[in-house]
Structure 1
Amino acid sequence: MRRCTASVLAGIAVLVLVTGCNTAPGSTPGNPSAPPAPGPGTTQEPIQVNVADALGTAQQEFTLIANGDWSGAWQLWTAEAQQSVPEEVFVEANKACPLQAGVEFELQEVTPVNETAVDLTWRRDDTVGNSSLRLDGDTWRFDPGGGVLVEYASGADETIASRKAAGSCPP
């Protein structure tokens, strides 16, 4: 019996040793798929994203808006944003009541999030906003952000009325 117990204990010890050797550094045995936590002196790999291409799309979007090409600007949006705001609503609201017509955008901050996303903070006159760029296949698409999508959610007439009530629609 003693020999059997010793064999079982030796087997458990080997199993624990093997399992411990196969656990990724920084992960716990209960969560072996967790990525290792960076330790002191450890450097993380930089995000590999072509920020210049992403910013080219942002600049194109901002130029189209500043020039009043609402349809062209909407065409650069992500599929999700286009589904949230129909092109007709975006174009009609902005033709009737353009916000800060002719005012250029200035980038304030550009933050690569991962290989397929870049977040932007921009300023346009006294307005500061946040948008994103998303890589769709090999094309960067503009995500105007939730605030913009909410503004147009109730349709062009409501957007125009809201802008007029706020005094942000040119006379």
Structure 2
Amino acid sequence: MNRNHPFRRAGALALVAVAALAFSSACSDDADKDPAGNAAAAAGGPEPKTIDGAKAAAQTVFDRFSGGDFGGAWDMYTAAGKAAISKTDYIKLNETCSRKGLAIQLTSARMEGADKAVVIAKQLVAAQSYTMVYEQDGWRLEPAKEGLALYAKGADRAIAVQKKAGTCANA
């Protein structure tokens, strides 16, 4: 059989073209995405209201927090979370008491209605659930009731409470 048959050459060229197109389309949008991985948000549009959008936003919050970017983590809080504690107090509390540098990994997630997702994240061996809420065209972290109660005390009292409880990492 002749290996240079016109149909074989055309078939091979078609496969190469399809592979090149698939590769270039899979890689071309990366530069346009925001840190949460949402191309629409980078373009000024709303983040996707999907489980993947919620997971990407949650991982961004966790990365910012574990990397010590507490201001960036606070920026991704719900309106209720931001109302409970000022950005300055949130940064002060976490710079004093949080464990920086320990990666927080998303282990699972599920939607709970159209505007809420529950994500499970793990740091070392401890796992915890978090709620992501879709508000203002994006996914935001909703602090737990215990966190809101702690934040309401202000940074100095919250630090004292955590030190007394033995939960302030740097005390």
Judge conservation of contact 1:130–1:144 (CA < 8 Å) in 2: no
Deviation at 1:126, TM superposition (A): 4.4
- Find out whether 1:124 has 2:106 as its counterpart: no
Structure-2 residue corresponding to 1:73: 73
Deviation at 1:137, TM superposition (A): 4.1
Structure-1 residue corresponding to 2:56: 56
Instruction: Specify the SS of the correspondent of 1:101.
Output: coil
Of structures 1 and 2, the one scoring higher in RCO (CA 8 A, sep 6+) is 2
Structure-2 residue corresponding to 1:152: 151
Q: Which TM-score applies when normalising by structure 1?
A: 0.64
The superposition leaves residues 125-144 of structure 1 with CA deviations (integer Å, 9 ceiling, x where unpaired) of: 34432221111243111112
Q: Structure 1: which amino acid aligns with 2:146?
A: G
Percent of residue pairs bearing the same amino acid type: 25
Instruction: Specify the SS of the correspondent of 1:130.
Output: strand
Q: Which TM-score applies when normalising by structure 2?
A: 0.64
Structure-1 residue corresponding to 2:140: 141
The superposition leaves residues 58-83 of structure 1 with CA deviations (integer Å, 9 ceiling, x where unpaired) of: 01000000011111100001111111
The superposition leaves residues 71-100 of structure 1 with CA deviations (integer Å, 9 ceiling, x where unpaired) of: 1100001111111222122111111222x2
Q: Structure 2: which amino acid aligns with 1:82?
A: K
Judge conservation of contact 1:130–1:145 (CA < 8 Å) in 2: no
Q: Supply the distance in 1 between the matched residues of 2:130 and 2:70 (Cα, whole angstroms).
A: 17
Structure-2 residue corresponding to 1:111: 110
Per mean C-alpha deviation after superposition, the further-off stretch among 119-128 and 156-165 is 119-128
Unaligned runs of 5+ in 1: 1-48
Per mean C-alpha deviation after superposition, the further-off stretch among 131-140 and 152-161 is 131-140
Judge conservation of contact 2:55–2:106 (CA < 8 Å) in 1: no
Deviation at 1:114, TM superposition (A): 0.9
Q: Displaced runs of 4+ in structure 1, greater than 4 A?
A: none
Judge conservation of contact 1:121–1:131 (CA < 8 Å) in 2: yes
Judge conservation of contact 1:67–1:101 (CA < 8 Å) in 2: yes
Q: Supply the distance in 1 between the matched residues of 2:166 and 2:97 (Cα, whole angstroms).
A: 10
Q: Structure 2: which amino acid aligns with 1:146?
A: K
Q: Structure 2: which amino acid aligns with 1:164?
A: K
Structure-2 residue corresponding to 1:85: 85
Q: Supply the distance in 1 between the matched residues of 2:84 and 2:63 (Cα, whole angstroms).
A: 22
Deviation at 1:103, TM superposition (A): 1.1
Unaligned runs of 5+ in 2: 1-48
Q: Supply the distance in 1 between the matched residues of 2:150 and 2:110 (Cα, whole angstroms).
A: 25
Q: Structure 2: which amino acid aligns with 1:157?
A: D
